[in-house]
Amino acid sequence: MAVLPPDTIQQSSEVALQQIDWIAPAESTEIELIDYLKDELAVSDDSIDLALRHCQQERGTLPMVLWRYGFVSIDQLNQIFDWMAR
């Protein structure tokens, strides 16, 4: 088994932490969006789960997929975009 020099390990750790810092805000925002959808717009868990699966397949945004499949109205879609812009 190869042993990495300490400076290589340090660099790898710093890169990993930078990646975590970059990913965490996106995940946090998505969690807040899902909470908003559930609490304010009464979108069901099943609708959100289905839309999230379609987001991955279709490379669409969650609000647009929810609207495309009829889980939110056009007025609700506008509310979501307003909330996201805050």
Place of tokens 């946090």: 28
Place of tokens 């990913």: 23
60: helix, coil or strand? Answer: coil
Is residue 72 a part of any domain in this protein?
A: yes
Angstrom distance (rounded) from CA 68 to CA 80? 14
The residue segments making up the domain with residue 49 are 31-86
- Reported confidence tier of residue 63, pLDDT bands at 50, 70, 90: very high
Is residue 63 a part of any domain in this protein?
A: yes
Is residue 3 a part of any domain in this protein?
A: no
What's the confidence (pLDDT) of residue 7? 56
**pLDDT above 70 for 71:** yes
As for how many domains the chain has, the answer is 1
Is residue 43 a part of any domain in this protein?
A: yes
Among left, alpha and beta (phi > 0; psi -120 to 50; other), residue 61 is beta
The CA angle 57-30-43, to the nearest 5 degrees, is 80
- The model's pLDDT over 6-22, given as tens digits with 9 standing for 90+, comes to 554 455 545 444 444 44
- The model's pLDDT over 34-62, given as tens digits with 9 standing for 90+, comes to 999 999 999 999 999 999 999 888 888 99
